[in-house]
Structure 1
């Protein structure tokens, strides 16, 4: 594969860095995970629309979305691009009808709506049964990212025919949303469902592969975001090691600190390499289950190590809530477990290597 970034990736990534850096120099993020003005600014810059497939957006797709997500991770900006654009709107553009794209994806591209995504896990899942008039959905899902403020929810439900994707507006009868505080803020929510929906809420068909597609895209998006987090976190830590002195010497001159930073650099590059390999294969339509699991393993395992390196090199100041490194530490720790932690990825990788045909 060719790891060279495309012109569109460079342009969108550079534009995202400009917009996000400008915002973060003027604003202190709160704990809500969402800033409406920033979301509107990203929309005005074309960053929400450009990386969505036609006819919803500008015709770009996964690789360009990853470039934007890296920049969001670098600033830990309160912009729900991962759930709203890279997963939900992209899935609606891929599997939805024209009416569904107009109703749900177009407002995201315009910056007037946001999405949360609730995908099945071992502990959290919904079930759906077909009825004469549509589907009855029930179950619960905790700590849904962006759920506290999302206008709409993309949820996965288990059916007798296979997994099913549904789109639910926040005002859906039988949907209860309870905000939750997690390690890096209060954007998550507990979803409790006992609702009846008609077929207009169904995305694709049960067992058609759309749910697996969404799982892969969500996992790759999390890896891209994590790359931005750990990349910038390491930069801040290296800068601190050059300026913080002990015994009249920068602590970065001490062998133990140099080795710790060198290990962190290798970890960041491993996250980068595995991310782009998985994203490229997925974007080319090449089987990528093993590569996606590998990328998320590195994002989780290496992300854990780099996060703790940030704190250990900074010492006590690294965990002060008012100090910027704390935001990168908590973001890295949360993303470590998002859409499957390291052990789960190793299980997925083992299954992919033993059952899937390889190219």
Structure 2
């Protein structure tokens, strides 16, 4: 086992740290307040190569391995989990095309995000979250076209994307056996963006509703065969889950560092609270939990890079790291006491941001089912 990063990975980490320190951390609370990512930040992220991380070299992308991508997300997560989520959504939307798309589809899709534009993955609906088989958006074949009708909700990047992967049912009442994936461009007639969600956390990340009203797209935009959508979605989520874990680790690490700094400076009873054993126990527990989460994340990414089965490890990494982020950020608020509960410090933002890690890209309850099924069957 080798726990060292390569020189290239260390250089990449340093570059991202500098970007975060200059362009993200100073503006994180402002973006949280406004509920929008700064437009100039998107430009900076594009210039730094952050918007097309999963694109292979043969399609003019960086061709990064999973460990390197996780390293990037961890650093972005330290700066702002909402910004990290915005970046990660481009990767999430890329995976269906990457794993199951034709060469023509890859050329088309990747050229969009290579040009600095955003993408979105549209699976969730008002009546279909963890139950992907309940997707009600329909896709009716009409000659060389499909006509899509339905509503999607909680779509990350939904309002700022130019290209989407949309899941619809191509076989009425067939459940997951009819689920099919399609590439949809924003300017397609009948496609529109609905309401923005006013969220508790990751507020810099755009999340909104999508409406498809007789959206007519070429059959060539179908990814894979009819009915393969569920398999494509599961492959996509397997690939993305370790990166949710990486963002969670970065978020927890940032909160932890705030607690350490504060506990050294804050005095009670004539001495720093860092000298109190109960505070020390909390700090020690945080450090152990973060390190364990980090190791799970990087093991899952390493297995992916080695071409090994990694669905169980991906679920473990996402679940444990997300739970860790929630526990650590809650404890950090406790260490800061009343100051932790105010918006003068980022502790409460960390706590609000952490909660979504246990919910999106498969709730942690679903992750536990994935883990158990991989063990038992």
Normalising by structure 1, we get a TM-score of: 0.89
Does residue 169 (structure 1) correspond to residue 191 (structure 2)? The answer is no
| Structure 2 gap segments, 5+ residues each | 172-176
Does residue 74 (structure 1) correspond to residue 96 (structure 2)? The answer is no
Please, what is the CA RMSD of the aligned residues? 2.4
Q: Which residue of 1 aligns with 2:174?
A: none
* Aligned CA distance change for structure 1 residues 48 and 145 (closer, same or farther; 3 Å): closer
> What is the CA-CA distance between 1:283 and the residue it aligns to?
2.3
Q: Which residue of 2 aligns with 1:41?
A: 44
* Matching residue within 183, 189, 192 for 2:200: 183
> What is the CA-CA distance between 1:188 and the residue it aligns to?
0.9
Which deviates further from its counterpart, 340-349 or 267-276?
A: 340-349
> What is the CA-CA distance between 1:341 and the residue it aligns to?
2.6
Does residue 114 (structure 1) correspond to residue 118 (structure 2)? The answer is yes
Q: Secondary structure at the match of 2:62?
A: coil
Aligned residues: 353
* Matching residue within 59, 64, 77 for 1:60: 64
> What is the CA-CA distance between 1:348 and the residue it aligns to?
1.4
| Structure 1 gap segments, 5+ residues each | none
> What is the CA-CA distance between 1:49 and the residue it aligns to?
4.6
* Aligned CA distance change for structure 1 residues 51 and 13 (closer, same or farther; 3 Å): farther
Q: Which residue of 1 aligns with 2:252?
A: 230
Q: Is the 8 A contact 1:52 1:61 kept in 2?
A: no
Whole-Å Cα distance in 1 between the matches of residues 8 and 310 of structure 2? 23
> What is the CA-CA distance between 1:303 and the residue it aligns to?
1.8
Whole-Å Cα distance in 2 between the matches of residues 235 and 282 of structure 1? 30
* Aligned CA distance change for structure 1 residues 62 and 254 (closer, same or farther; 3 Å): same
Does residue 312 (structure 1) correspond to residue 316 (structure 2)? The answer is no
Q: Is the 8 A contact 1:93 1:105 kept in 2?
A: no
Q: Secondary structure at the match of 1:274?
A: helix
Normalising by structure 2, we get a TM-score of: 0.85
Superposition map of 1:1-359 within 5 A: 2-24=2-24, 27-28=27-28, 29-30=30-31, 31-49=34-52, 52-56=55-59, 57-76=61-80, 78=83, 80-84=86-90, 86-111=91-116, 113-120=117-124, 121-122=129-130, 125-133=135-143, 134-160=145-171, 161-177=177-193, 178-184=195-201, 185=203, 187-194=206-213, 195-206=215-226, 207=228, 209-355=231-377
Q: Is the 8 A contact 1:241 1:250 kept in 2?
A: yes
Whole-Å Cα distance in 2 between the matches of residues 198 and 319 of structure 1? 52
Whole-Å Cα distance in 2 between the matches of residues 283 and 326 of structure 1? 36
Whole-Å Cα distance in 1 between the matches of residues 345 and 73 of structure 2? 23
